[in-house]
Amino acid sequence: MSRRIVIVGATSRIAECCARLWAAQGAEFLLLGRDATRLEQVAADLRVRGGQCETRVFDAGCAPDVEGLVDGAYAWRDAIDLLLIAHGTMPPQERAQQDLGLARQVLEINGVSVCLIAEAFAGRMLARGAGTLAIIGSVAGDRGRQSNYLYGAAKGLVARYAEGLRHRLHGTGVSVVLIKPGPTETPMTVGADIGPVTLAQPEDVAHEIVRGIDAGRRTIYCPAKWRWIMALIRHVPERLFLRWRI
């Protein structure tokens, strides 16, 4: 039977590249995002590639209707095999420092809304004793740093949340996958100043995500080298770290 997949933030480049791989296997999609026209373009492409798609508008900003989202998803299919939460926003940190409204959005969209959506789906999946919750966090959530700590803090919230949810769901048949991409060439980074790192290609990142989910991995660093880079960075003593301009 074909896989039933719900994607929140389905216009995200990383999510779209994952969906293209699933579409080739004949998956069924419910695609959610805030821009109906762009969602339709993504859906058209996935259909040509072998997927079946429906689209719904969903905005993760300002008090999103998470219950409505989950009800809608279960009205679409009575069981969901995979939920991918992919939406995110990363405005320049200096702007968020000066604008608390923007800072709140960064925290809420990347952090709170993600946890609430996962929480609501977790209950439904638990009732059936099956399903996979895949959440895109970020390497930026592994350690706070001056140039991107608001976004990083929200991604850190998601990481700690996923850890706890996985603990709770252990042995129930529902799995929780935390995806931590390194800097990747997508609309999110194409205009951003992310320093002297080479950007990964979203197609490659998507391959690692799809493979990692199929292999039952709990945490997917993509590209894989970021697991070791972040392990090092996390272990730099703060006394030293404070002097780095990163």
Partner 1 sequence: MSQPPLSDRWLGLRSWGLPGPFPHRVLTLLGRPELDLARDHKVLAIGAGRSYGDVGLNAGGIAIDSRLNDRLLGFDEATGILDCEAGVTLDTIVRVMLPRGWFPMVVPGTRFVTVGGMIANDVHGKNHHTAGSFGNHVVSLTLMSSDGAVVDCSRDHESARFRATIGGLGLTGLILSARVRLRRVVSAWMMARCRRFAGLDAFFELEREAADRYEYTVAWLDCPSAARGPVRGIHFAANHASTAQLGERPPAPPPGKPRWIPYGLPFSVVNAVSTRMLNQAYWLAHGPSEGLQPIYPFFWPLDGIAEWNRFYGARGFYQFQCVLPPEAEQAGLAELLRTCGDAGQGATLSVLKRFGTVAAEGLLSFPRPGSTFALDLPNLGERTRRLLAALEAIVLGVGGAVYPAKDANMSRALFERAFPGLDEFLSHRDAAFESSLWRRLFGTGP
Ligand X SMILES: NC(=O)c1ccc[n+]([C@@H]2O[C@H](COP(=O)([O-])OP(=O)(O)OC[C@H]3O[C@@H](n4cnc5c(N)ncnc54)[C@H](OP(=O)(O)O)[C@@H]3O)[C@@H](O)[C@H]2O)c1
Query: Which residues contribute to the site for partner 1 (CB under 8 A)?
Result: 13, 24, 37-38, 41-42, 44-45, 47-50, 187, 190-191
Specify the residue, 40 or 59, whose C-beta has the smaller distance to partner 1: 40
Single-letter amino acid, residue 105: Q
Closest CA to 60 of 81, 35, 24, 27: 35
CA angle (52, 58, 59) in 5-degree steps: 145
**CB 111 to ligand X: min, Å:** 11
Q: Taking CB under 6 A as the rule, does residue 35 contact ligand X?
A: yes
189 binds ligand X (CB under 6 A): yes
Q: Is the bond leading into 64 cis (omega within 30 degrees of zero)?
A: no
List Cβ neighbours of 184 (8 Å cut-off, separation of 6 or more): 13, 14, 199, 200, 201, 202, 205
> Minimal distance in Å, beta carbon 7 to partner 1?
16
State which residue, 170 or 211, has the beta carbon closest to ligand X: 211
Assess 88 for contact with ligand X (CB under 6 A).
yes
Of 29, 183, 208, 210, the one binding ligand X (CB under 6 A) is 183
Looking at the Cβ atoms of 119 and 203, the one nearer to partner 1 is 203
**How many Å apart are CA 140 and CA 145, to the nearest integer?**
8
Rounded to the nearest whole angstrom, what is the least distance from the CB of residue 13 to partner 1 in the complex? 7
Q: How far apart are CA 190 and CA 51, in angstroms?
A: 28
Q: How far is CA 31 from the centre of its chain?
A: 14
Contact between 145 and ligand X by CB under 6 A: the answer reads no
Provide, rounded to whole angstroms, the least separation between the CB of residue 10 and partner 1: 13
Partner whose binding site includes residue 240, from ligand X, partner 1, none (CB under 5 to 8 Å by kind): none
